[in-house]
Amino acid sequence: MSIPFLSVRPQAIKLKVKPQYPSRLLGGTALTITKENGDYTFDFDISELNEVVSASADSYVVIYDSATGVYSKIKVSNL
Protein backbone atom coordinates (compact mmCIF):
# COMPACT_ATOMS: atom_id res chain seq x y z
CA MET A 1 0.00 0.00 0.00
CA SER A 2 1.32 3.41 -0.91
CA ILE A 3 0.35 6.77 0.51
CA PRO A 4 1.37 9.43 -2.04
CA PHE A 5 1.21 12.45 0.27
CA LEU A 6 3.27 10.93 3.12
CA SER A 7 7.03 10.97 2.86
CA VAL A 8 9.18 9.98 5.80
CA ARG A 9 12.91 10.72 5.71
CA PRO A 10 15.39 10.37 8.53
CA GLN A 11 16.49 13.73 9.88
CA ALA A 12 20.02 14.55 10.90
CA ILE A 13 20.88 16.86 13.76
CA LYS A 14 24.01 18.90 13.28
CA LEU A 15 25.67 20.54 16.25
CA LYS A 16 28.59 22.88 16.39
CA VAL A 17 30.58 22.44 19.58
CA LYS A 18 33.70 24.37 20.41
CA PRO A 19 36.30 21.95 21.76
CA GLN A 20 37.80 22.76 25.13
CA TYR A 21 41.03 20.84 25.52
CA PRO A 22 42.24 20.10 28.07
CA SER A 23 38.92 20.05 29.80
CA ARG A 24 40.29 19.55 33.29
CA LEU A 25 43.77 19.76 34.77
CA LEU A 26 44.58 18.95 38.37
CA GLY A 27 47.69 19.92 40.29
CA GLY A 28 48.97 18.27 43.42
CA THR A 29 51.97 18.01 45.67
CA ALA A 30 54.81 19.95 44.04
CA LEU A 31 52.75 20.58 40.86
CA THR A 32 51.08 23.93 40.25
CA ILE A 33 49.04 24.57 37.09
CA THR A 34 48.18 28.09 36.01
CA LYS A 35 46.20 29.34 33.02
CA GLU A 36 46.70 32.73 31.44
CA ASN A 37 45.22 33.83 28.11
CA GLY A 38 44.43 30.22 27.20
CA ASP A 39 47.98 29.03 27.87
CA TYR A 40 48.68 26.50 30.61
CA THR A 41 51.88 26.59 32.64
CA PHE A 42 53.09 23.66 34.73
CA ASP A 43 55.44 24.40 37.61
CA PHE A 44 57.08 21.48 39.40
CA ASP A 45 58.80 22.34 42.70
CA ILE A 46 60.94 19.43 43.87
CA SER A 47 61.47 21.08 47.29
CA GLU A 48 57.82 20.34 48.17
CA LEU A 49 58.31 16.57 47.83
CA ASN A 50 58.88 14.34 50.85
CA GLU A 51 62.19 12.53 51.19
CA VAL A 52 61.85 8.75 50.92
CA VAL A 53 64.04 7.07 53.53
CA SER A 54 63.44 3.47 52.46
CA ALA A 55 61.72 1.64 49.63
CA SER A 56 61.21 -1.97 48.63
CA ALA A 57 63.55 -3.49 46.04
CA ASP A 58 60.62 -3.71 43.59
CA SER A 59 60.01 0.06 43.70
CA TYR A 60 61.11 2.50 41.04
CA VAL A 61 62.55 5.99 41.33
CA VAL A 62 62.76 8.75 38.78
CA ILE A 63 66.06 10.55 38.44
CA TYR A 64 66.96 13.61 36.41
CA ASP A 65 70.29 14.10 34.68
CA SER A 66 70.78 17.87 34.49
CA ALA A 67 73.66 17.48 32.02
CA THR A 68 71.47 15.80 29.39
CA GLY A 69 68.04 17.06 30.52
CA VAL A 70 66.73 13.48 30.58
CA TYR A 71 64.50 11.80 33.18
CA SER A 72 65.00 8.07 33.78
CA LYS A 73 63.07 5.42 35.71
CA ILE A 74 65.34 3.09 37.70
CA LYS A 75 64.47 0.12 39.87
CA VAL A 76 65.61 0.61 43.49
CA SER A 77 67.39 -2.74 43.47
CA ASN A 78 69.67 -1.41 40.68
CA LEU A 79 70.88 1.60 42.67
Whether this prediction's pTM lies above 0.75 is answered by no
CB-based burial, 55-79: b 16+ in 10 Å, e otherwise? eeeeeeeeeeeeeeeeeeeeeeeee
Q: What is the pLDDT of residues 57-69, one digit of tens each?
A: 889 888 888 899 8
Q: What is the pLDDT of residues 10-41, one digit of tens each?
A: 555 666 767 776 667 888 888 898 888 878 88
Q: Helix count (H) and strand count (E) of the chain?
A: 0, 4
Rounded Cα gap, residues 54 and 71, in angstroms:
21
Per the CB < 8 A criterion, the answer to whether 33 and 26 are in contact is yes
